[in-house]
């Protein structure tokens, strides 16, 4: 059975090769992954395995760095570094702050993707 990452031989459509800037949060997750990797908390093999285990629907719906985020969250919980309750509380805190500041509002092109 093919995993969601195994697309060899399948029709993939056009590839956007235009350069693009990373969003600030994408740079942050890249940095977090580098730090926890350097500390020996996770390896690139564990990260890849966890991403591959997201399942087809989740894998297809998430962007590259969203997959990294989901993978790292799962690994930190599985290894007892963080609890799901701690993560949920921090997400709620950040979401509230962003809602209050108006920063959580979607750009028109982001809103169109959600439909």
pLDDT at position 14 is: 82
Share of the chain above pLDDT 70, in %: 85
Residue 3 located in a structural domain: no
Residues 42 and 92 in one domain: no
Q: Give the end-to-end CA distance of the chain in Å, rounded to a whole number.
A: 30
Banded pLDDT at 115 (limits 50, 70, 90): low
Residues 103 and 59 in one domain: no
Residue 70 located in a structural domain: yes
pLDDT, tens digit, for every residue of 7-55? Answer: 556 677 787 888 888 999 999 999 999 999 999 999 989 998 999 899 8
Show the domain range for 78.
24-82
Three-state SS for 26?
helix
Structural domains of the chain, count: 2
Distance, in Å, from the CA atom of 92 to the CA atom of 37, rounded to the nearest integer, reads 26
pLDDT at position 3 is: 59
Residues in the chain: 115
Q: Which residues contact residue 60 at a Cβ distance below 8 angstroms, ignoring those fewer than 6 apart?
A: 4
Q: Which residues contact residue 95 at a Cβ distance below 8 angstroms, ignoring those fewer than 6 apart?
A: 104
pLDDT, tens digit, for every residue of 81-101? Answer: 999 999 999 999 998 998 889
């Amino acid at each position: 059975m093919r995993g969601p990452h195994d697309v060899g031989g399948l029709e993939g459509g056009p590839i956007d090769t235009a350069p693009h800037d990373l969003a600030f949060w994408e740079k942050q997750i890249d940095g977090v992954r580098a730090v926890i990797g350097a500390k020996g908390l996770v390896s690139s093999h564990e990260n890849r395995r966890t991403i591959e285990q997201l399942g087809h629907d989740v894998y297809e719906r998430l962007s590259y760095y969203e997959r990294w985020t989901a993978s790292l969250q799962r690994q930190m919980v599985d290894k007892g570094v963080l609890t799901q309750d701690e993560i949920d509380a921090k997400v709620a805190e950040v979401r509230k702050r962003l809602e209050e500041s108006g920063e959580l509002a979607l750009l028109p092109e982001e809103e169109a993707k959600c439909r």
